[in-house]
Structure 1
Protein backbone atom coordinates (compact mmCIF):
# COMPACT_ATOMS: atom_id res chain seq x y z
CA UNK A 1 0.00 0.00 0.00
CA UNK A 2 1.28 3.47 -0.95
CA UNK A 3 2.35 5.88 1.77
CA UNK A 4 -0.06 8.76 2.48
CA UNK A 5 2.56 11.38 1.57
CA UNK A 6 3.10 9.78 -1.85
CA UNK A 7 -0.66 9.61 -2.46
CA UNK A 8 -0.95 13.29 -1.54
CA UNK A 9 1.98 14.20 -3.83
CA UNK A 10 0.45 12.32 -6.79
CA UNK A 11 -2.89 14.02 -6.18
CA UNK A 12 -1.24 17.45 -6.04
CA UNK A 13 0.76 16.89 -9.26
CA UNK A 14 -2.36 15.47 -10.97
CA UNK A 15 -4.28 18.65 -10.10
CA UNK A 16 -1.44 20.82 -11.38
CA UNK A 17 -1.44 18.94 -14.70
CA UNK A 18 -5.21 19.40 -14.99
CA UNK A 19 -5.12 23.13 -14.17
CA UNK A 20 -2.10 23.98 -16.35
CA UNK A 21 -2.42 25.31 -19.90
CA UNK A 22 0.98 23.77 -20.63
CA UNK A 23 3.78 21.96 -18.84
CA UNK A 24 7.51 21.66 -19.52
CA UNK A 25 9.67 18.77 -18.30
CA UNK A 26 13.23 19.69 -17.35
CA UNK A 27 16.21 17.91 -15.91
CA UNK A 28 18.30 19.72 -13.35
CA UNK A 29 21.73 18.73 -12.07
CA UNK A 30 24.05 20.61 -9.79
CA UNK A 31 21.75 23.59 -9.36
CA UNK A 32 21.78 25.18 -5.94
CA UNK A 33 18.66 26.08 -4.00
CA UNK A 34 19.46 29.74 -4.71
CA UNK A 35 19.51 29.09 -8.47
CA UNK A 36 16.20 27.18 -8.35
CA UNK A 37 14.70 30.04 -6.34
CA UNK A 38 15.92 32.48 -9.00
CA UNK A 39 14.29 30.34 -11.71
CA UNK A 40 11.00 30.34 -9.82
CA UNK A 41 11.19 34.15 -9.64
CA UNK A 42 12.03 34.38 -13.37
CA UNK A 43 8.99 32.26 -14.23
CA UNK A 44 6.68 34.72 -12.47
CA UNK A 45 3.31 34.15 -10.88
CA UNK A 46 1.73 32.37 -13.88
CA UNK A 47 4.03 29.35 -13.73
CA UNK A 48 5.26 27.05 -10.98
CA UNK A 49 8.41 24.92 -10.92
CA UNK A 50 7.95 21.60 -9.11
CA UNK A 51 10.70 19.08 -8.39
CA UNK A 52 9.22 15.57 -8.19
CA UNK A 53 10.09 11.88 -8.34
CA UNK A 54 9.65 10.34 -11.76
CA UNK A 55 7.38 7.53 -10.54
CA UNK A 56 5.02 10.07 -8.95
CA UNK A 57 4.99 12.27 -12.07
CA UNK A 58 4.25 9.25 -14.29
CA UNK A 59 1.32 8.25 -12.11
CA UNK A 60 0.02 11.82 -11.93
CA UNK A 61 0.33 12.34 -15.70
CA UNK A 62 -1.60 9.12 -16.27
CA UNK A 63 -4.32 10.19 -13.79
CA UNK A 64 -4.59 13.62 -15.49
CA UNK A 65 -4.74 12.13 -18.99
CA UNK A 66 -1.44 13.67 -20.09
CA UNK A 67 0.27 11.27 -22.53
CA UNK A 68 3.76 11.30 -24.03
CA UNK A 69 5.86 12.20 -20.98
CA UNK A 70 7.09 8.75 -19.89
CA UNK A 71 10.22 8.83 -22.07
CA UNK A 72 11.16 12.24 -20.63
CA UNK A 73 11.06 11.12 -17.01
CA UNK A 74 14.62 9.99 -16.30
CA UNK A 75 17.17 11.59 -14.03
CA UNK A 76 16.40 14.46 -11.65
CA UNK A 77 13.11 15.83 -12.97
CA UNK A 78 11.26 19.08 -12.44
CA UNK A 79 8.02 20.11 -14.12
CA UNK A 80 7.05 23.69 -14.91
CA UNK A 81 3.27 24.02 -14.78
CA UNK A 82 2.13 27.04 -16.80
CA UNK A 83 -1.22 28.60 -15.97
CA UNK A 84 -0.69 31.82 -17.93
CA UNK A 85 1.14 32.74 -21.12
CA UNK A 86 3.16 29.73 -22.33
CA UNK A 87 5.47 31.95 -24.42
CA UNK A 88 6.69 33.91 -21.38
CA UNK A 89 7.43 30.77 -19.35
CA UNK A 90 9.19 29.11 -22.31
CA UNK A 91 11.33 32.25 -22.75
CA UNK A 92 12.26 32.24 -19.05
CA UNK A 93 13.19 28.54 -19.11
CA UNK A 94 15.23 28.86 -22.31
CA UNK A 95 17.11 31.90 -21.00
CA UNK A 96 17.80 30.23 -17.64
CA UNK A 97 18.97 26.99 -19.32
CA UNK A 98 21.34 29.01 -21.53
CA UNK A 99 22.86 30.75 -18.51
CA UNK A 100 22.82 27.62 -16.30
CA UNK A 101 23.88 24.42 -18.11
CA UNK A 102 22.64 22.37 -15.14
CA UNK A 103 19.07 22.83 -16.41
CA UNK A 104 18.03 21.18 -19.65
CA UNK A 105 14.61 21.23 -21.31
CA UNK A 106 13.47 17.73 -22.27
CA UNK A 107 9.99 18.29 -23.69
CA UNK A 108 6.51 19.20 -22.60
CA UNK A 109 2.77 19.06 -23.11
CA UNK A 110 0.30 21.62 -24.47
CA UNK A 111 -3.05 21.62 -26.28
CA UNK A 112 -3.58 17.89 -25.84
CA UNK A 113 -0.23 16.72 -27.22
CA UNK A 114 3.39 16.22 -26.27
CA UNK A 115 5.92 18.89 -27.27
CA UNK A 116 9.49 18.27 -28.42
CA UNK A 117 12.47 20.35 -27.30
CA UNK A 118 12.46 22.11 -30.70
CA UNK A 119 8.78 23.04 -30.33
CA UNK A 120 9.37 24.51 -26.89
CA UNK A 121 12.30 26.53 -28.24
CA UNK A 122 10.10 27.76 -31.11
CA UNK A 123 7.50 28.76 -28.53
CA UNK A 124 10.20 30.65 -26.62
CA UNK A 125 11.22 32.51 -29.79
CA UNK A 126 7.69 33.86 -30.36
CA UNK A 127 6.78 37.37 -29.28
CA UNK A 128 4.76 37.59 -26.09
CA UNK A 129 1.01 38.20 -26.25
CA UNK A 130 1.43 41.81 -25.09
CA UNK A 131 3.98 42.61 -27.82
CA UNK A 132 1.80 41.00 -30.50
CA UNK A 133 -1.24 42.94 -29.30
CA UNK A 134 0.74 46.19 -29.30
CA UNK A 135 1.93 45.52 -32.86
CA UNK A 136 -1.61 44.69 -33.96
CA UNK A 137 -2.91 47.90 -32.38
CA UNK A 138 -0.18 49.91 -34.13
CA UNK A 139 -0.98 48.31 -37.49
CA UNK A 140 -4.69 48.93 -37.02
CA UNK A 141 -4.06 52.58 -36.08
CA UNK A 142 -1.90 53.07 -39.17
CA UNK A 143 -4.57 51.50 -41.38
CA UNK A 144 -7.27 53.71 -39.85
CA UNK A 145 -5.17 56.81 -40.53
CA UNK A 146 -4.73 55.72 -44.15
CA UNK A 147 -8.46 55.07 -44.49
CA UNK A 148 -9.33 58.49 -43.04
CA UNK A 149 -6.91 60.13 -45.47
CA UNK A 150 -8.44 58.24 -48.40
CA UNK A 151 -11.97 59.21 -47.34
CA UNK A 152 -10.98 62.89 -47.05
CA UNK A 153 -9.22 63.04 -50.42
CA UNK A 154 -12.31 62.76 -52.67
CA UNK A 155 -14.08 65.63 -50.85
CA UNK A 156 -11.08 67.94 -51.13
CA UNK A 157 -10.52 66.93 -54.76
CA UNK A 158 -14.16 67.75 -55.62
CA UNK A 159 -13.83 71.16 -53.91
CA UNK A 160 -10.62 71.94 -55.85
CA UNK A 161 -12.22 70.79 -59.11
CA UNK A 162 -15.32 72.98 -58.52
CA UNK A 163 -13.09 76.00 -57.79
CA UNK A 164 -11.00 75.34 -60.92
CA UNK A 165 -14.15 75.14 -63.07
CA UNK A 166 -15.49 78.40 -61.59
CA UNK A 167 -12.14 80.12 -62.20
CA UNK A 168 -12.11 78.89 -65.80
CA UNK A 169 -15.63 80.22 -66.41
CA UNK A 170 -14.63 83.63 -65.01
CA UNK A 171 -11.60 83.72 -67.31
CA UNK A 172 -13.82 82.84 -70.26
CA UNK A 173 -16.05 85.84 -69.56
CA UNK A 174 -18.89 84.00 -67.87
CA UNK A 175 -19.99 85.10 -64.45
CA UNK A 176 -19.07 82.81 -61.58
CA UNK A 177 -21.88 81.03 -59.73
CA UNK A 178 -23.34 83.08 -56.87
CA UNK A 179 -21.93 80.68 -54.25
CA UNK A 180 -18.38 81.03 -55.55
CA UNK A 181 -18.70 84.85 -55.79
CA UNK A 182 -20.07 85.03 -52.26
CA UNK A 183 -17.16 82.94 -50.95
CA UNK A 184 -14.52 84.93 -52.80
CA UNK A 185 -15.96 88.45 -52.16
CA UNK A 186 -14.95 88.78 -48.48
CA UNK A 187 -11.50 87.48 -49.24
CA UNK A 188 -11.04 90.08 -52.00
CA UNK A 189 -12.39 92.87 -49.79
CA UNK A 190 -9.99 91.94 -47.04
CA UNK A 191 -7.12 91.81 -49.50
CA UNK A 192 -7.91 95.42 -50.61
CA UNK A 193 -7.99 96.55 -47.00
CA UNK A 194 -11.76 97.26 -47.04
CA UNK A 195 -13.93 95.97 -44.23
CA UNK A 196 -16.96 93.86 -45.05
CA UNK A 197 -19.23 96.37 -43.25
CA UNK A 198 -18.19 99.56 -45.18
Structure 2
Protein backbone atom coordinates (compact mmCIF):
# COMPACT_ATOMS: atom_id res chain seq x y z
CA UNK A 1 0.00 0.00 0.00
CA UNK A 2 1.41 3.39 -0.94
CA UNK A 3 1.74 6.18 1.57
CA UNK A 4 -1.02 8.26 -0.10
CA UNK A 5 -3.40 5.27 -0.11
CA UNK A 6 -2.66 4.65 3.57
CA UNK A 7 -3.39 8.29 4.39
CA UNK A 8 -6.67 8.11 2.46
CA UNK A 9 -7.65 4.96 4.37
CA UNK A 10 -6.81 6.65 7.69
CA UNK A 11 -8.84 9.73 6.78
CA UNK A 12 -11.80 7.58 5.72
CA UNK A 13 -11.71 5.54 8.94
CA UNK A 14 -11.37 8.71 11.00
CA UNK A 15 -14.51 10.08 9.34
CA UNK A 16 -16.33 6.81 10.07
CA UNK A 17 -15.31 6.89 13.74
CA UNK A 18 -16.36 10.53 14.15
CA UNK A 19 -19.73 10.22 12.39
CA UNK A 20 -20.97 6.83 13.64
CA UNK A 21 -23.23 6.53 16.67
CA UNK A 22 -21.96 3.02 17.41
CA UNK A 23 -19.01 0.87 16.32
CA UNK A 24 -18.86 -2.90 16.93
CA UNK A 25 -15.56 -4.82 16.66
CA UNK A 26 -15.56 -8.55 15.94
CA UNK A 27 -13.23 -11.33 14.82
CA UNK A 28 -14.19 -12.82 11.48
CA UNK A 29 -11.53 -15.51 11.05
CA UNK A 30 -12.96 -18.60 9.36
CA UNK A 31 -15.87 -16.92 7.62
CA UNK A 32 -16.31 -17.60 3.93
CA UNK A 33 -16.70 -14.89 1.32
CA UNK A 34 -20.39 -15.81 1.00
CA UNK A 35 -20.90 -15.39 4.75
CA UNK A 36 -19.17 -11.99 4.72
CA UNK A 37 -21.36 -10.97 1.78
CA UNK A 38 -24.42 -12.01 3.75
CA UNK A 39 -23.24 -9.93 6.71
CA UNK A 40 -22.69 -6.91 4.46
CA UNK A 41 -26.17 -7.30 2.93
CA UNK A 42 -27.83 -7.60 6.33
CA UNK A 43 -26.00 -4.52 7.58
CA UNK A 44 -26.85 -2.54 4.43
CA UNK A 45 -30.53 -3.45 4.85
CA UNK A 46 -30.68 -1.62 8.21
CA UNK A 47 -28.48 1.31 7.21
CA UNK A 48 -25.27 0.01 8.77
CA UNK A 49 -21.93 -0.80 7.18
CA UNK A 50 -19.10 -3.30 7.61
CA UNK A 51 -15.43 -2.53 7.04
CA UNK A 52 -12.35 -4.71 7.22
CA UNK A 53 -9.35 -2.47 7.87
CA UNK A 54 -5.73 -2.91 8.82
CA UNK A 55 -5.53 -2.69 12.60
CA UNK A 56 -2.47 -0.43 12.47
CA UNK A 57 -4.26 2.09 10.26
CA UNK A 58 -7.45 1.86 12.35
CA UNK A 59 -5.47 2.60 15.52
CA UNK A 60 -4.01 5.72 13.91
CA UNK A 61 -7.49 6.78 12.76
CA UNK A 62 -8.88 6.34 16.30
CA UNK A 63 -6.79 9.18 17.68
CA UNK A 64 -8.81 12.27 18.62
CA UNK A 65 -12.18 10.48 18.30
CA UNK A 66 -14.81 9.59 20.90
CA UNK A 67 -14.38 5.86 20.20
CA UNK A 68 -10.66 5.77 21.03
CA UNK A 69 -11.40 3.03 23.59
CA UNK A 70 -11.60 0.55 20.68
CA UNK A 71 -7.83 0.50 20.30
CA UNK A 72 -7.36 -2.42 22.72
CA UNK A 73 -9.82 -4.56 20.70
CA UNK A 74 -7.94 -4.21 17.41
CA UNK A 75 -5.87 -7.39 17.48
CA UNK A 76 -6.04 -10.18 14.93
CA UNK A 77 -8.48 -10.36 12.02
CA UNK A 78 -11.05 -7.74 13.01
CA UNK A 79 -14.06 -6.31 11.25
CA UNK A 80 -15.75 -3.01 12.12
CA UNK A 81 -19.54 -2.71 11.97
CA UNK A 82 -20.91 0.79 12.37
CA UNK A 83 -24.12 2.76 11.96
CA UNK A 84 -25.75 6.10 12.66
CA UNK A 85 -28.56 4.31 14.53
CA UNK A 86 -27.17 3.12 17.88
CA UNK A 87 -29.12 -0.15 17.68
CA UNK A 88 -28.87 -1.21 14.01
CA UNK A 89 -25.26 -2.47 13.80
CA UNK A 90 -25.26 -4.29 17.18
CA UNK A 91 -28.58 -6.00 16.41
CA UNK A 92 -27.38 -7.39 13.07
CA UNK A 93 -23.97 -8.32 14.54
CA UNK A 94 -25.55 -10.27 17.42
CA UNK A 95 -27.96 -12.08 15.09
CA UNK A 96 -25.13 -12.92 12.69
CA UNK A 97 -22.94 -14.18 15.58
CA UNK A 98 -25.73 -16.52 16.68
CA UNK A 99 -25.86 -18.06 13.21
CA UNK A 100 -22.06 -18.17 12.65
CA UNK A 101 -19.75 -19.41 15.40
CA UNK A 102 -16.64 -18.01 13.67
CA UNK A 103 -17.98 -14.45 14.05
CA UNK A 104 -16.97 -13.44 17.59
CA UNK A 105 -17.97 -10.05 18.96
CA UNK A 106 -15.14 -8.47 20.95
CA UNK A 107 -16.90 -5.29 22.02
CA UNK A 108 -17.56 -1.83 20.74
CA UNK A 109 -18.14 1.79 21.55
CA UNK A 110 -21.10 4.12 21.58
CA UNK A 111 -19.70 7.62 21.72
CA UNK A 112 -17.27 7.77 24.62
CA UNK A 113 -18.83 4.70 26.24
CA UNK A 114 -16.83 1.50 25.76
CA UNK A 115 -18.92 -1.65 25.36
CA UNK A 116 -17.95 -5.21 26.21
CA UNK A 117 -19.70 -8.11 24.40
CA UNK A 118 -22.52 -8.05 26.97
CA UNK A 119 -22.95 -4.31 26.42
CA UNK A 120 -23.29 -4.90 22.68
CA UNK A 121 -25.93 -7.60 23.41
CA UNK A 122 -27.82 -5.20 25.68
CA UNK A 123 -27.75 -2.52 23.02
CA UNK A 124 -29.01 -5.01 20.43
CA UNK A 125 -31.99 -5.90 22.61
CA UNK A 126 -33.28 -2.31 22.57
CA UNK A 127 -35.93 -1.32 20.02
CA UNK A 128 -34.65 0.45 16.92
CA UNK A 129 -35.14 4.15 16.25
CA UNK A 130 -37.98 3.45 13.82
CA UNK A 131 -39.76 1.22 16.35
CA UNK A 132 -39.48 3.94 19.01
CA UNK A 133 -40.86 6.54 16.61
CA UNK A 134 -43.82 4.28 15.82
CA UNK A 135 -44.54 3.80 19.53
CA UNK A 136 -44.41 7.57 20.16
CA UNK A 137 -46.76 8.25 17.25
CA UNK A 138 -49.12 5.59 18.63
CA UNK A 139 -49.04 7.16 22.09
CA UNK A 140 -49.67 10.65 20.70
CA UNK A 141 -52.40 9.46 18.36
CA UNK A 142 -54.37 7.50 20.98
CA UNK A 143 -55.24 10.50 23.21
CA UNK A 144 -56.17 12.52 20.13
CA UNK A 145 -58.76 9.93 19.08
CA UNK A 146 -60.11 9.79 22.64
CA UNK A 147 -60.45 13.59 22.69
CA UNK A 148 -62.34 13.47 19.40
CA UNK A 149 -64.66 10.78 20.78
CA UNK A 150 -65.30 12.80 23.95
CA UNK A 151 -65.99 15.94 21.91
CA UNK A 152 -68.52 14.08 19.77
CA UNK A 153 -70.13 12.19 22.66
CA UNK A 154 -72.31 15.06 24.08
CA UNK A 155 -73.71 15.84 20.62
CA UNK A 156 -74.54 12.18 20.10
CA UNK A 157 -76.29 12.02 23.49
CA UNK A 158 -78.37 15.12 22.67
CA UNK A 159 -79.32 13.59 19.33
CA UNK A 160 -80.43 10.35 21.05
CA UNK A 161 -82.50 12.28 23.62
CA UNK A 162 -84.20 14.32 20.88
CA UNK A 163 -84.82 11.14 18.89
CA UNK A 164 -86.31 9.44 21.96
CA UNK A 165 -88.67 12.38 22.60
CA UNK A 166 -89.65 12.45 18.92
CA UNK A 167 -90.48 8.73 18.88
CA UNK A 168 -92.35 9.12 22.18
CA UNK A 169 -94.47 11.96 20.75
CA UNK A 170 -95.09 9.95 17.56
CA UNK A 171 -96.28 6.96 19.61
CA UNK A 172 -98.67 9.10 21.70
Deviation for aligned residue 1:152: 6.2
Segments of structure 2 that go 5 or more residues without pairing to the other structure are none
Shift of 1:144: 3.4
Distance across 2 between alignment mates of 1:59 and 1:8: 12
- 1:121, distance to aligned residue in structure 2 (A): 0.8
Q: How many angstroms apart in 2 are the aligned matches of 1:48 and 1:96?
A: 14
Deviation at 1:74, TM superposition (A): 1.1
d(CA) in 2 for partners of 1:189, 1:67: 84
Aligned-CA RMSD value: 2.9
Report the TM-score, using the length of structure 1 for normalisation. Answer: 0.71
Q: Provide the residue aligned with 1:172 in structure 2.
A: none
Alpha-carbon shift at residue 43 of structure 1 (Å): 0.5
Match of 2:54 in 1: 53
Name the structure 2 match of 1:191: 171
1:137 corresponding residue in structure 2 = 137
State the Cα distance separating 1:151 from its structure 2 match.
5.7
Q: Which protein shows a greater Rg? A: 1
Report what 2:21 is aligned to: 21
Deviation at 1:57, TM superposition (A): 0.9
* C-alpha contact 2:25 2:78 (8 A) present in aligned 1: yes
The residue aligned with 2:4 is 4
Change (3 A) 1:19 1:189: closer
Q: Decide whether the 8 Å contact of 1:15 with 1:64 is kept in 2.
A: no
CA distance in 2, matches of 1:38, 1:8: 27
Give the drift of 1:56.
1.0
Residue aligning to 1:75: 76
Aligned equivalents of 1:188, 1:120: Cα separation in 2: 70
**Equivalent residues of 1:58, 1:73 under 8 A apart:** yes
What is the count of residue pairs matched by the alignment?
168
Answer yes or no: is the 8 Å Cα contact 2:22–2:109 preserved in 1: yes
Change in Cα spacing, 1:136 to 1:8, as seen in structure 2 (3 Å) is closer
Checking the alignment, whether the CA contact within 8 Å between 2:27 and 2:79 is kept in structure 1 is: yes
